[in-house]
Amino acid sequence: MPLYSHSLLSTFENCRLKYKFAYIDKIKRDEDSIESFMGKRFHEVMEKVYAERTFRSVSALELKNLFSELWDKNWGAHVFVTRTDRTPEDYRKIGLKAVEDYFNRYAPFDGGKILGVEKRVIFDLDGTGRYTIRGYIDRLMETTDGNYEIHDYKTSGTLPGQAELGCDRQLALYEIAVRQLWPDDVKNMELVWHYVVFDKEMRSKRTPEQLRELKENVIALIKEIEETEEYPATESTLCRWCSYQDICPLFAHKFRTDALPPNKYLKEDGVALVNQLAELDAKKRELKADIAVIEEEWDAVVYAAIELAQKTGVNRLFGSDRELTIKDDIEIDYPKSNDEERDDFETAMKGLGVWDQLTGLNHNSFKSFARKVGWLEKIPEEVQKFVTVTPAKKATLSRRKDEPEVM
């Protein structure tokens, strides 16, 4: 039977193409983001601290030195930095500060009995062995009062809210594993996250019902994975840290063209086409700005023409070869489809028995309806709170009818 993991499930949820690359095609990548690299070094320090705490005590300086030694030992060209405002040394300093903060908070690290460090667990979700999960628990503890705790170290630069932790899948799966390992011993369980960059400890608990629901959801997800035949790429902020960009259809062209010398780069077909579109887009933006100015001037001239027509008592003005006809019109305001009052508005209209007359309701059709039934003079009381109708003038420019048509 295949083994699944929280990481595998998350990869499928975030991007099916990456899932295919990693777990079906099994394409290996040596690249490592600086964030992941820093997290691994911190985990190695914690593993040593708790694995050896029975035999010797350590100082903050020793742990920081260990972190730097592990950093230097594992550093290489495979580590990449996506943020342009930070250097590798910045991340080293963040890691060292996290180690120091953790030491100051928890030394001498004697809070309870250690049941496992980087403990590997394999467990099934329905008792049949059909849906099997594996994972590694950073630290499993039994407290002095007999409670169990699953600890996880996070070096993330973002801090989740308590509600988000209440939905965390990874540690809840590990709780299922631990309860299967020791069904008679585990009475109370707490899930503990150490967001070490923020020097924050956060906790959460799961009810039996939540764990049952989690099992059902994961089984459903595994079934979806096993039935999937299409693996499209899904773009998200996670793409910044993806090591498969060079073969992903969303980013592969960038990698191919970035490798070209400058004299060939601009001649590459794709680059040339995108650059041409960029020029056209710039021209469109310029035209849009010009059109906005013209429309503003248009409105001002129309307003002046309407004022003149009213002042002189006419409803049509003549130019050299065009004429402007001015007619009475209305403006109407009512709840649109995304407004909060839309449902109440529709209910009121149905109560009047007129909703069926407005199939495909839009601004123009509703104006015609309101004008036809005389809502400018009086709006029915049932819809007065939703609808406003005000008189207006409409000006239409057309060719002079007394001018000969140009063939």
Angstrom CA distances, 6 to 40, 136, 155, 166, 176, stand at: 17, 10, 18, 16, 13
Give the pLDDT score at 159: 93
The helix, strand and coil proportions of the chain, stated in percent and rounded to the nearest 5, come to 50, 20, 35
Q: Where are the domains of the chain?
A: 3-227, 271-312, 315-399
pLDDT in tens, 171-188: 999 999 999 999 888 889
- The CATH-assigned architecture of domain 3-227 is Alpha-Beta Complex (3.90)
Give the pLDDT score at 257: 87
Sheet of 322-333, strands arranged across: 316-318, 322-333, 388-399
Give the pLDDT score at 37: 95
Give the pLDDT score at 404: 63
Half-sphere exposure of residue 366: CA atoms within 13 angstroms, side-chain side = 16
The pTM is what?
Answer: 0.70
Listed as ranges, residues in the chain with pLDDT below 50 are none
Give the pLDDT score at 171: 96
- What phi, psi does 360 have (nearest 5°)? 70, 45
